[in-house]
Amino acid sequence: METAEIRRRWLAFFEQRGHTVVPSAPLVHADPNLLFVNAGMVPFKPYFLGQETPPYQRATSVQKCVRTLDIEEVGQTTRHGTFFQMQGNFSFGDYFKEGAIELAWELLTTSQRDGGLGFDEKDLYASVYQDDDEAISLWRKVAGLPESRIVRLGKKDNYWHMGVAGPGGPCSEILLDRGPEFGADGDWEAGDRYLEFWNLVFMQYELENVRSKEDFDIVGDLPKRNIDTGMGLERVAFLTQGVDNIYETDEVYPVIEAAEELSGRHYGADHGDDVRFRVVADHVRSSLMLIGDGVTPGNEGRGYVLRRLLRRAVRSMRLLGVDAPSLEHLLPVSMGRMKSSYPELERDFDRIGQVAYGEEDAFRRTLAAGTTILDVSVAKAKQSGSSRLGGVEAFALHDTYGFPIDLTLEMAAEQGLQVDEAGFRRLMDEQRGRAKADAKAKKAAHGDTLVYRGLADALGRDVEFTGYDQVATEATVRGLVRDGEVVDHAVVGDTVEVVLDRTPLYAESGGQQADHGRIRLQNGALLEVLDVQRPITGLVVHRATVLEGEVRTGETAEAEVDVTRRRSISRAHTATHMVHQALRDELGPTATQAGSENSPGRLRFDFKSLQAVPAAAMAEIEARINAVLLDDLPVTADIMSLDAARKTGAMALFGEKYGERVRVVSIGDWSRELCVGTHTPRVGQIGVVKLLGESSIGSGVRRVEALVGSDAYQHLAREAALVSQLTDTLAVRPEELPERIAGLVARLREAEKAIATVRQGQVLGAATALVATARDLGGVSFVSHDAGEGVTPDDLRALVLDVRNRLGNDRPSLVSMSAVANGRPVVVVATNERAREQGLKAGAFVKLAATALGGGGGGKDDLAQGGGSDATAVPAALGAVEDALRTRGA
């Protein structure tokens, strides 16, 4: 049975039994504690935590997941990968233990002919939490399992919680006995004989003081008991397809076959090669899915994980003997296997491929640079008589240059050196420990929302937003928060967070900055609103300062928007949609949004692109936007289902969480996007859009900034005034300015060259006279000279070398000179070959002089340069060189 068919059967089975099918959330999730979705329950976490009310009592999903804690271990075992799909069924206060066990047993043991998964009952076992007698009795009642096929295990294996205070409870795992060839009878810990593939979590308790996986306090029962189950799709696939591991399933193995063909090596022939084949297959698929969900390679966070995956895949192909680019052959194979479950991968494959192949090219250049750096490190090790490369050097190659340790090991061995792997691993462990400590510290973020959760529960429903149609709304003060605590009143001068039951003020979201405004209470109190946020879904808080009177909960109020600010931001937001569409029209569909900011009078738009946008293209984009403004297209917003929105071609943002009903903002028939922000009624009201330029803000991400409306007009007016001033000064027409300015610049450069030539001639002309000033200091011809101000470092260096060369090489000579350029002193020292034979090194003398100048310097033994900040210390600097030369033999 193919993996896609197992997935289809799962969803169909639970949908037929009253579960709402919830599409997989993107791998990039809003949870600040997670780089990626790493478990099937993550999208449902707000329901389990009580932050949101679930819109259904039963749900099922097949969730895309990525786990990256042990990337280096991928391929070493046959059961773990970075990307996997977690099938789950969930109950929110509906069925509990018995229902979960009944559903699981039915799906597992129903024959494949009848739509089930067709597992043989005699091969199935259950593990339960050691004190959960109820679960044991249910397994006997529902499945008829004898005591011998039910095993009691402790909290480490059969108790679930989120690692922080919140819901938790015992769980029960379903295991498959794979037979005696995989281990001994009753050896539950081995992991290969009795393979766990479905975990049923019975979420029923409120936990506090969670100190570890097994150490926590149960403080009471949850108001509603929930079910959260997870069955790894890849594990079920290899168990039902008659193969030994996840790498040999139908969605993964074709990449191994393609790698075999490219490398000429065979999977199963050598353990080392097998690990590399598995790394390639896993990482190519994981990269495909991550790029598909909008991740681009980078040096931090999610981007760094993707970069590591792609580079480990490329490196593994290199270790398999493939030096040529390989992703262009492997990635399409993975897409071909995954597209039946995720058709968007095929639609977006041009962009996905562009990102992946660009990163491979960059890494190949890194390999070339890293090889040079490695060669230098190897040479230094050999010169010092060492037979091994230090762990510090290996870690620097890995951490700073992205050079994989396996490649360092291989290439060092080729040159007869070992690598201090233990030192490297120690540094890696220290880095990993810092990362884990940071992640653990971030879990405290759950506690920050407790006060807001309490307010949301008290409200009993979401705060109603009226701002699409109104700029002033009557409301009731439902809650006040000051200094992180709920209060019942606030007085003049207090800064307080105000919760209303309804509001026209827009909370910062989707790149649009928050509204400002005022709240007037019926009792005469007045508050100035400085910010509006949504700390949790459904709750809007207004950060405000009390200007007059006293504010109390329960008071009637009127909230009003700062209309001037709102209109200016709305114009910028509509213009952002126009920039997005015009970029796609010019650059193609790969120019997808990666972030934005809409503020009064200006916008910032980030988009995916591996190359800079040519100036001519930017001009076309700006012209296109302003041409549409003249068409004065209407801007409309429609509420529809997510499926309907997708059918209209509406653009959605990677990583955004959308409900089943979405708001689609259209600019005529030209642009259509999912958006909750505020906009102008017609684009003509924007006036004008002026693009200020575009630039890189990271690997594969570019940024366009623009001015909108009156801000754009004022910018253009300033430019027009400047052009007018230049035309008057140069006595030319505006269209002649570029040519005239280019001519002036060319003449200026020629003049600067001529001046430099004359100045250098003057400086070098002093060489003959300076040679005549040479003194004998301990058998060394010594010249010291203060060139004064206005001599450039380049000219000073040329003068020093000229004097040294004129002194010849018959006897040792040392030349020391200083000058002041742009207010900063510089010193140059040169030695000839005879001086260096006596141990006189220019770099050592320059360091003495530079120290006197309050700075530093260095260079080679024959020529060195330094500088500092104290121009008054030039005599002391030259004197330090002379003193050191005079006393060298003392």
pLDDT at position 477:
93
Of 264-273, 759-768, 813-822, the one with minimum mean pLDDT is 759-768
Tell me the per-residue pLDDT of 434-492, one tens digit each, with 9 for 90 and over.
655 654 544 434 445 667 877 776 666 678 999 999 999 999 999 999 988 889 899 99
pLDDT at position 457:
66
Tell me the per-residue pLDDT of 11-34, one tens digit each, with 9 for 90 and over.
999 999 999 999 999 998 777 678
Q: Which domain holds residue 788?
A: 766-886
pLDDT at position 537:
76
pLDDT higher than threshold 70 for residue 414: no
The Cα–Cα gap between 687 and 601 comes to 11
Q: Is 827 inside any structural domain?
A: yes
pLDDT bin (cut points 50, 70, 90) of residue 706 is very high
pLDDT at position 642:
84
Tell me the per-residue pLDDT of 368-386, one tens digit each, with 9 for 90 and over.
767 777 777 888 888 787 8
Q: Are residues 529 and 570 in the same domain?
A: no
How many Cα atoms occupy the beta-carbon half-sphere of 667 within 13 Å? 30
pLDDT at position 435:
56
Burial label for 743, CB within 10 Å (0-12, 13-18, 19+), is exposed
The structural domain count of the chain equals 5
Q: Is 269 inside any structural domain?
A: yes
Give me the chain's average pLDDT, please: 88
Q: Are residues 190 and 261 in the same domain?
A: no
Q: Are residues 198 and 288 in the same domain?
A: no
> Binding residue per annotation — 679?
yes
Using the 3D structure, point to which of 546, 561, 576 is the last residue of a domain: 561
Contacts of 865-869 with CB under 8 Å at 24 or more apart are 865/793, 865/797, 865/826, 865/827, 865/828, 865/829, 866/826, 866/827, 867/793, 867/824, 867/825, 867/826, 867/827, 868/824, 868/825, 869/824, 869/825
Tell me the per-residue pLDDT of 128-179, one tens digit each, with 9 for 90 and over.
999 999 999 999 999 999 988 999 999 988 999 888 788 899 999 999 998 8
490 contacts: CB under 8 Å, gap ≥ 6: 480, 482, 496, 546, 550, 551
CATH of the domain at 504: 2.40.30.130
Q: Are residues 195 and 93 in the same domain?
A: yes
Q: Are residues 705 and 792 in the same domain?
A: no
Using the 3D structure, point to which of 209, 243, 277 is the last residue of a domain: 243
Interval 845-850 mean pLDDT: 92
pLDDT bin (cut points 50, 70, 90) of residue 290 is very high
Q: Is 329 inside any structural domain?
A: yes
Tell me the per-residue pLDDT of 169-220, one tens digit each, with 9 for 90 and over.
999 999 999 888 888 888 776 667 888 899 999 999 989 888 888 899 999 8
Nearest to 803 by CA among 790, 793, 817: 817
Q: Are residues 483 and 605 in the same domain?
A: no
Q: Are residues 84 and 214 in the same domain?
A: yes
DSSP 512: B
The Cα–Cα gap between 353 and 345 comes to 10
Q: Are residues 504 and 540 in the same domain?
A: yes
Tell me the per-residue pLDDT of 506-531, one tens digit each, with 9 for 90 and over.
999 888 999 999 999 999 999 999 99
Q: Is 427 inside any structural domain?
A: no
Of 35-39, 300-304, 621-625, 775-779, the one with minimum mean pLDDT is 300-304
Between helix 349-383 and helix 301-319 the angle, nearest 10°, is 70
pLDDT higher than threshold 60 for residue 280: yes
> Binding residue per annotation — 80?
no
pLDDT higher than threshold 60 for residue 241: yes
Using the 3D structure, point to which of 322, 354, 376 is the last residue of a domain: 376
Tell me the per-residue pLDDT of 685-704, one tens digit each, with 9 for 90 and over.
999 999 998 988 876 788 99
pTM above 0.85, yes or no: no
pLDDT exceeding 90 applies to what percent of the chain? 56
The Cα–Cα gap between 439 and 386 comes to 39
SS3 211: coil
Q: Are residues 217 and 269 in the same domain?
A: no
Q: Are residues 161 and 222 in the same domain?
A: yes
Q: Is 732 inside any structural domain?
A: no
pLDDT at position 566:
95
Q: What's the distance, CA 776 to chain centroid?
A: 64
> Binding residue per annotation — 283?
no
What does the block give as tokens for 192? 């290969």
Q: Is 381 inside any structural domain?
A: no
Q: Are residues 542 and 636 in the same domain?
A: no
pLDDT higher than threshold 90 for residue 753: no
SS3 587: helix
CATH of the domain at 688: 3.30.980.10
Q: Tell me, letter by letter, the H, E, C secondary structure of 104-172.
A: HHHHHHCCHHHCCCCCCHHHEEEEEECCCHHHHHHHHHHHCCCHHHEEEECHHHHEEECCCCEEEEEEE
Q: Are residues 164 and 123 in the same domain?
A: yes
Tell me the per-residue pLDDT of 628-664, one tens digit each, with 9 for 90 and over.
999 999 999 999 988 898 888 888 765 456 667 899 9
Q: Is 93 inside any structural domain?
A: yes
Q: Is 425 inside any structural domain?
A: no
> Binding residue per annotation — 577?
yes
